[in-house]
Structure 1
Amino acid sequence: MKKTWWKESVVYQIYPRSFMDSNGDGIGDLPGIISKLDYLKQLGVHVVWLCPVYQSPNDDNGYDISDYQQIMDEFGTMEDWEQLLEGLHQRGMKLIMDLVVNHSSDEHHWFAESRKSTDNQYRDYYIWRPGKDGREPNDWASFFSGSAWQKDEATDEYYLHLFSSKQPDLNWENETVREEIYRMMTWWLDKGIDGFRMDVINLISKNPELPDAHTPDPGIGTMPPDEGQTYHFGGQHFVNGPRVHEYLQEMNRKVLSRYDIMTVGETVNVTPEDGALYVGEDRNELNMVFHFELMQVDSGPGGKWDIRPWRLSEIKQVISKWQTLLHNKGWNSNYLNNHDQPRMVSRFGNDSVYRKPSAKMLATLLHTLQGTPYIYQGEEIGMTNIRLSSIDDYRDIETLNMYQEYKEAGRDTDAIMESIYIKSRDNARTPMQWDGTEQAGFTKGQPWISVNPNYTDINVQEALADPDSIFYYYQRLIELRRQEPIIVYGDYTVLQPEDEQLFAYIRSYEGQKLLVVLNFTDQAQPFKLDAHVSYHEPQLLISNYGGDHGRELAEEARSHNLRSLSLEPYEARVYLWQE
């Protein structure tokens, strides 16, 4: 397998609005990030992924870009950004930027021109169509509720927006649009960045006939329609669309291949087979993708907000499928939360009694699989979901649109709010908890969104003062990944795939074996190593339980008996031996 720096790296994602505010306006900014670079260096991460800091009206918190080559005033200046890049590089870290080119803001000058007339030279930069029978051109639903079409009175035509109406989709069929995008990407790369995270990149190619969705294949849609719905998820016409691989290979040929960078594409509704087409090392497209299969294990037939309990066997099935099918073909990315997902310790762990051990256990999973691990800000101190008291306290456009739509449909308010508490993107967007002072040390002003009230107990200052903290456990995992090539490059074999309590797997590489055993429950669990798995003088590499129990584990490992173990609630253990 080809060895590269981005396979061996750990990435830390920063959501700038919520990371650190330097000027007291309640909004995180670039100087705030710069002030915390030594903290990131101490954690040990290699790459920082910066969510959008471009000029934007902020309809979708920066994912609606009005100028790709300017910095948003709230975040600072281009000089601040250059200081950030220099500060990271000086500390041996790299910077990847968000690339948002499925759509722009409706305030981008391309769109301002495009909407002026049907024969404007920019008209074809976007996807415009006349109405059909007094309605929208087709029945596609937006990811953010309602129709994916917006009528523009100036020309009496509709434009396509798969997300907010202020995020019109760019027309990738237009070669000039593609060349403009490639020029912009080259401009940033020439400034010295180290790669891109590409927002919903597998949606850029649409079926040019734009047919109705009608009733979609339930295997494709994330939002299966109720019978009475007007609009339907049309993913079969724009997810992994007809020319998407052609476009990405062109992008790679004209831009990406000219630099030593990393690329990760956010790809909606891809299977491992689809993923292999995007990341195959012989296909010259992307290095890795974010898939959503794991993020859908607690979604019912009604999609994201139709919440059902997840099962560990389903998590294992998804992870095992991706680990196995991409092995020696392409590369995985491993994450359990980000700016679009709830906090992982609240979703997959136990954010009350066992917050620390369960956060460490989940971290062990992420950092011992094959693939590049992604840490979302605050994950390394075990930040949790938040229950804001009123819908008025939420800021996320997806959450607010869903609330409105469900209320109009007559759904119970308490039930809607319960779904929001579990799945709203704002769970991840509350300010970073730096210390126990007012507003968690994030700002001296009024924060743009409420700080989680548990900041007095859960904060960076507390974590750095506690040798047994989640932070130091992450630090150790990152260091182990650097020391042990088997963690990066070893293959993967799941053990006992149907077990609903324990997740165990073996990694193998160059005469070594790594055994990972994870207890996903709040009860002690017995583990019996399969008889066909042979081992020789195993070493306990890491465990998330310290103190007397940790000493007992080390002694147990020295006794070389892995056939019959007992794991504490949310315990994680990693053993290494030579074959």
Structure 2
Amino acid sequence: MTRPASDWWKSAVVYQIYPRSFADSNGDGIGDLAGIIGRLDYVRALGVDVIWLSPVYRSPQADNGYDISDYRAVDPMFGTLAEFDAFLARVHELGMKLVMDLVVNHTSDQHPWFAESRSTRVGSKRDWYFWRDARDGAEPNNWGSLFGGSAWQWDQSTEQYYLHLFERRQPDLDWTNPEVRAAVHDLMSWWLDRGVDGFRMDVINFISKADGLPDAPGIPGQTFVNAIDRFADGPHVHDYLAEMTRVVFADRDGEFMTVGEMPAVTPDEARLYTDPARHELNMVFQFEHMSVDQGADKFDYVGLDLVALKKSLHRWQIALAETGWNSLYWNNHDQPRVVSRFGDDHPDYWAASAKVLATVLHGMRGTPFVYQGEELGMTNYPFRHPWELQDIESLNYYNGVLEAGGDTGAALAGLTRMSRDNARTPMQWDAGPHAGFSSSAPWMPVNPNHTWLNAESQVCAADSVFAHYQALIHLRHRLPILVDGDFTPLMAEDPQIWAYTRTTPTAGLVVLANCGRDTRAVDVDPEWTGATLLLGNLPNAEASITSTTVELAPWEARIYLARPGSAG
């Protein structure tokens, strides 16, 4: 099958770098651009096509850089604009592309736009943000912040509230103002002119709030409620994104990639966002599969139901099969480590389970994303005390439980498993002091298991997690069926086996994975007899399917190829 060159991102694999935690070059304990440059050969060796760089813009760091005070400057903690240019040049020299994080639902309260907006009620940028009078002496509506408490902050100087869906120092921009949209288009063009290859857009489906900012349905006993249906996928968001594409990208030569982070997005909406005919986005990040182990809130861990996880991801595979495109991910800077979450981080199983999870994800239809350290099987940090946490969302949650007289032990247990801090511990480069991340104590503690779980011990080992990721990425580049093949789930109700097929008229792949500690015999359709092994995660896997039963060891995954043809 011939694919348009403009669809290059469909066969690409993306690697996310979280700069604070990747590599520190100057010994201040915080990762930086120079440190990243020094490790780019490692990223290239993995085989990825694109780097997604989390924010390096100037920021007060209230939310680790997702509160931006200058979109055209590099924060000194990460380096200089000249170092960014050197980094970008090296990325391109190594044959990779660079996608920047675009955070434009909100800014920092230290951004000059907001400083002018809050200076007076009649200023030129007052209507760049959401300002409202008090209602009956209280907040303008009942929306709760996604980081806890009210989504409104009182500003004493002008005696009005401003809206912040996240932390109070992250005021939301009002995209109904065409000047706001023009300013965003301008800063995007500035980075594209500098040579970047696209954007990952932070909570981009929040940029259109419900007209009039109405109350969300109340909950007994709660003053502020989850109002996501009042600001996710709002009435004008598709118009805004189509306008962005038309203004920023339409007249440019080049191969660009756009992905929108979209909490609460539905498959129906995702098809609209990613329909090529609509010219909005290439793909979206959806969160449905990230909630299958959560109860009343994200820190209420209820355990993994593998059937629910499979059904969620399979639903998205089928929903976007004909129109649109999926992103595929387990980890990012906002999620705990997948080996500890959906796998098995016991030392006897962590490597095998990391490879199984990688196999089932990379075998699906969509663009895979790998978060730094995922390719090593990095695990959650063993947090024991609340003061070890640094993430503002986690701290707000714990303090809220404490103030309400709730069960702080249960809260800490949930945070230990689900906190964003798990993803932000330093990259584990070697077994030495500070895991080779820095020459001094890092901003977050290094996971103690770095003495045996690290890059140095894996990059040259043929059976490592790193090597398995390399093999999966190589298969995606080599076999068009992994990009274009139809997806059909198998054994959807089985609580331990994850299986599906990818097929074209000339070839077929079957992916079989045992997601547990018990050996399992898997019945396969006779049509797969004779299929040959492409990749397995354990030694001594059968080189071909010779009967209608395949026995899988604990945490074993295999990919078999049948009717090879052109493999796609």
Q: Secondary structure at the match of 1:309?
A: coil
Residue in structure 2 matched with residue 535 of structure 1 by the alignment: 528
Of the candidates 253, 258, 273, which is equivalent to residue 246 of structure 2?
Answer: 253
Residue in structure 2 matched with residue 116 of structure 1 by the alignment: 119
What is the alpha-carbon distance in structure 2 between the residues aligned to residue 379 and residue 501 of structure 1? 22
Q: Secondary structure at the match of 2:558?
A: strand
Of the candidates 371, 395, 399, which is equivalent to residue 404 of structure 1?
Answer: 399
2:491 is aligned with 1:496? yes
What is the alpha-carbon distance in structure 2 between the residues aligned to residue 390 and residue 190 of structure 1? 46
Of the candidates 18, 21, 32, which is equivalent to residue 18 of structure 1?
Answer: 21
Residue in structure 1 matched with residue 178 of structure 2 by the alignment: 175
What is the alpha-carbon distance in structure 1 between the residues aligned to residue 529 and residue 433 of structure 2? 53
Deviation of 1:356 (Å): 0.5
Deviation of 1:257 (Å): 3.0
Within 5 Å, which residues of 2 pair with 1:331-370? Answer: 331-352=325-346, 353-370=348-365
What is the alpha-carbon distance in structure 2 between the residues aligned to residue 140 and residue 174 of structure 1? 22
Of the candidates 34, 37, 58, which is equivalent to residue 37 of structure 2?
Answer: 34
Residue type of the alignment partner of 2:323: K
2:556 is aligned with 1:571? yes
Q: Is the 8 A contact 2:384 2:416 kept in 1?
A: no
Residue type of the alignment partner of 1:195: G
Q: Secondary structure at the match of 1:213?
A: coil
What is the alpha-carbon distance in structure 1 between the residues aligned to residue 211 and residue 123 of structure 2? 20
Q: Point out where structure 1 has 5 or more consecutive residues left out of the alignment.
A: 216-224
Q: Is the 8 A contact 2:134 2:160 kept in 1?
A: yes
Identify the range of structure 1 (305-314 vs 77-86) with the bigger mean alpha-carbon deviation. 305-314
2:220 is aligned with 1:208? no
What is the alpha-carbon distance in structure 2 between the residues aligned to residue 573 and residue 140 of structure 1? 47
Residue in structure 1 matched with residue 158 of structure 2 by the alignment: 155
Q: Secondary structure at the match of 1:515?
A: strand
What is the alpha-carbon distance in structure 1 between the residues aligned to residue 367 and residue 155 of structure 2? 43
What is the alpha-carbon distance in structure 2 between the residues aligned to residue 90 and residue 417 of structure 1? 45
Deviation of 1:50 (Å): 0.1
What is the alpha-carbon distance in structure 2 between the residues aligned to residue 407 and residue 519 of structure 1? 41
Residue type of the alignment partner of 2:250: S
Identify the range of structure 1 (413-422 vs 177-186) with the bigger mean alpha-carbon deviation. 413-422
What is the alpha-carbon distance in structure 2 between the residues aligned to residue 150 and residue 512 of structure 1? 58
Within 5 Å, which residues of 2 pair with 1:496-515? Answer: 496-515=491-510
2:86 is aligned with 1:88? no
Residue type of the alignment partner of 2:139: E
Residue type of the alignment partner of 2:442: P
Residue in structure 1 matched with residue 479 of structure 2 by the alignment: 484
Q: Is the 8 A contact 2:529 2:548 kept in 1?
A: no
What is the alpha-carbon distance in structure 1 between the residues aligned to residue 547 and residue 302 of structure 2? 35
Deviation of 1:235 (Å): 1.5
Q: Secondary structure at the match of 1:304?
A: coil
Deviation of 1:562 (Å): 4.4
Superposed CA deviations along residues 516-542 of structure 1, whole A, max 9, x for unmatched, are 0011111111100145xx236311000
Residue type of the alignment partner of 1:377: Q
Q: Is the 8 A contact 2:488 2:500 kept in 1?
A: yes
Q: Is the 8 A contact 1:536 1:578 kept in 2?
A: no
Deviation of 1:158 (Å): 0.2
In structure 2, the CA distance between the partners of 1:343 and 1:56, relative to structure 1 (3 Å rule), is: same
In structure 2, the CA distance between the partners of 1:244 and 1:562, relative to structure 1 (3 Å rule), is: farther
Residue type of the alignment partner of 1:566: E
What is the alpha-carbon distance in structure 1 between the residues aligned to residue 284 and residue 494 of structure 2? 28
What is the alpha-carbon distance in structure 2 between the residues aligned to residue 25 and residue 316 of structure 1? 43
Q: Is the 8 A contact 1:96 1:195 kept in 2?
A: yes
What is the alpha-carbon distance in structure 2 between the residues aligned to residue 398 and residue 452 of structure 1? 21
Deviation of 1:214 (Å): 2.7
Residue type of the alignment partner of 1:107: Q
Deviation of 1:207 (Å): 1.5
Q: Secondary structure at the match of 1:517?
A: strand
Residue type of the alignment partner of 1:369: M
Superposed CA deviations along residues 110-147 of structure 1, whole A, max 9, x for unmatched, are 00010011101010010000000010000100000000
Q: Is the 8 A contact 1:289 1:333 kept in 2?
A: yes
Superposed CA deviations along residues 391-426 of structure 1, whole A, max 9, x for unmatched, are 222110000000010111111222111001110000
What is the alpha-carbon distance in structure 2 between the residues aligned to residue 421 and residue 288 of structure 1? 31
What is the alpha-carbon distance in structure 2 between the residues aligned to residue 175 and residue 276 of structure 1? 26
Deviation of 1:6 (Å): 0.5
Deviation of 1:179 (Å): 0.2
Deviation of 1:88 (Å): 0.6
Q: Secondary structure at the match of 2:216?
A: coil
TM-score w.r.t. length of structure 1: 0.95
Residue type of the alignment partner of 2:318: T
What is the alpha-carbon distance in structure 1 between the residues aligned to residue 42 and residue 17 of structure 2? 13
Residue in structure 2 matched with residue 311 of structure 1 by the alignment: 305
Residue in structure 2 matched with residue 323 of structure 1 by the alignment: 317
Residue in structure 2 matched with residue 234 of structure 1 by the alignment: 227
Residue in structure 1 matched with residue 367 of structure 2 by the alignment: 372
2:236 is aligned with 1:243? yes
Residue type of the alignment partner of 1:528: D
What is the alpha-carbon distance in structure 2 between the residues aligned to residue 68 and residue 485 of structure 1? 38
Of the candidates 8, 12, 15, which is equivalent to residue 9 of structure 1?
Answer: 12
Residue type of the alignment partner of 1:318: S
Q: Give percent identity, aligned residues only.
A: 51
Q: Point out where structure 2 has 5 or more consecutive residues left out of the alignment.
A: none
Q: Secondary structure at the match of 1:240?
A: coil
Q: Is the 8 A contact 2:522 2:550 kept in 1?
A: yes
Q: Secondary structure at the match of 1:5?
A: helix
Residue in structure 2 matched with residue 103 of structure 1 by the alignment: 106
Identify the range of structure 1 (316-325 vs 42-51) with the bigger mean alpha-carbon deviation. 316-325
What is the alpha-carbon distance in structure 1 between the residues aligned to residue 190 and residue 469 of structure 2? 35
Deviation of 1:247 (Å): 0.4
Residue type of the alignment partner of 1:459: N
What is the alpha-carbon distance in structure 2 between the residues aligned to residue 577 and residue 465 of structure 1? 31
What is the alpha-carbon distance in structure 1 between the residues aligned to residue 319 and residue 441 of structure 2? 48
What is the alpha-carbon distance in structure 2 between the residues aligned to residue 538 and residue 518 of structure 1? 16
Q: Is the 8 A contact 1:102 1:170 kept in 2?
A: yes
Residue type of the alignment partner of 2:498: F
Residue in structure 1 matched with residue 409 of structure 2 by the alignment: 414
Residue in structure 1 matched with residue 388 of structure 2 by the alignment: 393
Of the candidates 185, 199, 202, which is equivalent to residue 199 of structure 1?
Answer: 202
Superposed CA deviations along residues 308-338 of structure 1, whole A, max 9, x for unmatched, are 1121111111111111110120111000111
Residue type of the alignment partner of 1:102: N
TM-score w.r.t. length of structure 2: 0.97
Deviation of 1:228 (Å): 1.4
Deviant stretches of 4+, over 6 Å: none
What is the alpha-carbon distance in structure 2 between the residues aligned to residue 476 and residue 244 of structure 1? 39
2:36 is aligned with 1:51? no
Instruction: Count residues in correspondence.
Output: 558
Q: Is the 8 A contact 1:71 1:77 kept in 2?
A: yes
Q: Secondary structure at the match of 2:10?
A: coil
